[in-house]
Chain A
Amino acid sequence: MTPPTRPIVEFHDVTVAYGRRPVVWNVDLVIDEPCLFGIIGPNGAGKSTLLKAALGLVPLVGGEVRFFGEPLGRVRSRVGYVPQRETVDWDFPVNVMDVVLMGTYGRLGWFRRPGDRERRLARECLDRVGLADVAGRQIGRLSGGQQQRVFLARALAQQADVYFLDEPMAGVDVRSQERIFHVLDDLKAAGRLVVVVHHDLRTAAEWFDRVALVDRRVVAAGRTIDTLTPENLQRTYAGHVDVLDELAQAIAARGRTP
């Protein structure tokens, strides 16, 4: 008898509200195999909120999120996180290595300080994002793209099985974007699930294996090629006239991808 396969991540009827105002509601989403998964939608659609709900950073009004069939509290060390870059003070007195080491704190637990093993791991992670040579630099003296890669390296140091990234490509130069994308692709190849909140439709079609189109609820989800259809995009972006141009390009890009 084969054991029942447990989805890596499942959202069941998730509703989140800030105060009395619901931000996302009745979200059902199941991701059952390692892939690059994009959460796509217009500004204010609740994409980041959905991510934070999965990580337990905002309280759920209803529903639940499970990882490997378990509640988050029991599998936290298997879940990695890259927050939006703007959420921290980059003038903070830490250097690049210090930040990456923070990824090891979860496994270290209370009071234990990172040692040689953690430093070796952190150096390895920095190498993977191409920042080994700035390990000793104060984090404010990095470009936006480098800062984003530091955050990615910190997540790598978590050695997780599922990664959540919140707008990792926002305000990031093309070189860094490519580097980040390659790292994510390697993670997928190593059997990890990578979930990315992303707002750029043009790149979405070429980067993600699967996507969910979100506008306060899930409009459509599935394989990218089946999901990014003109009809679905119209439904997701209805009322967002400003993105019509992007939309046209996305559809064109989709035509080019096999």
Chain B
Amino acid sequence: MTSAAGILSYNTVVVAVGVAAVGFAAGVVGSLCVLRKRALAGDAAAHATLVGVACAFLATGRRDLATLLAGALVAACAGLGMLVIVRRFTRTRDDAATALVIGVSFGLGITLVSGLPAWGYANSAGLEQFLLGHTAALTARDAWLLGAVAIVAVAAVAAILKEATLVAFDAAFAAATGWPVSGIDYAIVGLVALMVVAGLPAVGAVLVTALVVIPPVAARFWTDRVGTMVVLSGLIGLAAAAVGVAVSATRPGLATGPLVVIAAAAAFAFSFLCAPHRGWIARRAEAARGLTVRRGDSDGETGR
């Protein structure tokens, strides 16, 4: 596998595949998150991860990916818990509570990560790469870990897709028919936290929500079925991650995260413009033909 030229080393290929798998899983999990309208919760979890990375390093003195990501996962869940607490006990509204959690936890995370070297932790260098994502530092071993997390997340979505779709579409009906709505919600948000953490090394805390949110929003333009949307969203996430890794590998100065997000945004722009039926051009063309979208059928009813 190892190429003597070193352009495509074994390591580079494995890292690219691992990160692409994370992109796929992020898109798949992101579909549930977006359909359940919990995109902001993902952002809160993402911004809280830095604190976890710093604390995991402080507590163990180790810098291996598994340790740091375990810390990030704990912090992401703590951030989500804080969100619930702020909302419930201070009667702060959803958007304001999310902004508050994002700001506070991110400020704390930046302070810790940037302060560590100054406080004498010389070997903490590299933690700041979790800010914007940097795949060059990843080893094949790291990539296997990320790939395993991706597989677990995709399998979990496949298992609860029916239940999650029901709750996302009509939570009241789900509750009335005996489904544990908050339990399923916790599962969805927990998976989002997991994927945000898995996306951290490649995309970074600032932008990783985009990897969870943009692919499903782009995928929605092409289909009216949840199942198709989930798979399509995964493929868009996969492609965005692969493009980001490939470009940053050939241009060593560029952080991976922004490139991944730009690639995902390009997929979104293309979907928004060119998708049949829901795309902008298709809708303009339909309007130009003087055919407003027909609602209702031969009943002769008019829509709302």
Residues of A within 8 A of B (CB): 52, 55-57, 73, 76-77, 79, 81, 83, 87-89, 92-95, 98-99, 102, 105-106, 108, 110-111, 113, 133-134, 138, 141-146, 154, 158, 171, 173, 175-176
Contact = CB atoms under 8 A, between A and B. Distances in A.
Interface stretch (B16-24, B236-244, B250-258, B291-299): B291-299
11 contacts: A57-B172, A76-B177, A88-B170, A93-B226, A102-B166, A102-B170, A106-B178, A138-B224, A143-B296, A145-B299, A176-B299
Contacts, number: 98
B168 interface: yes
Given A76-B177, A76-B178, A106-B177, A93 B229 contact: yes
Given A143-B295, A144-B303, A83 B225 contact: no
Contacts of B170: 83, 87-88, 102
Contacts of B64: none
B178 A144 contact: no
Interface residues of B, number: 33
Interface string B164-187: 011011101101111100000000
B302 interface: yes
Contacts of A92: 35, 168-169
Contact of A143 (B165, B177, B302): B302
A94 B169 contact: yes
B162 interface: yes
B289 interface: no
B169 to A, nearest CB: 5
Given A77-B178, A146-B297, A173-B301, 7 more contacts: A57-B172, A93-B224, A94-B225, A141-B294, A143-B299, A146-B296, A176-B301
A93 B225 contact: yes
B162 to A, nearest CB: 6
A95 B295 CA distance: 14
Nearest to A88: B170
A171 B302 CA distance: 11
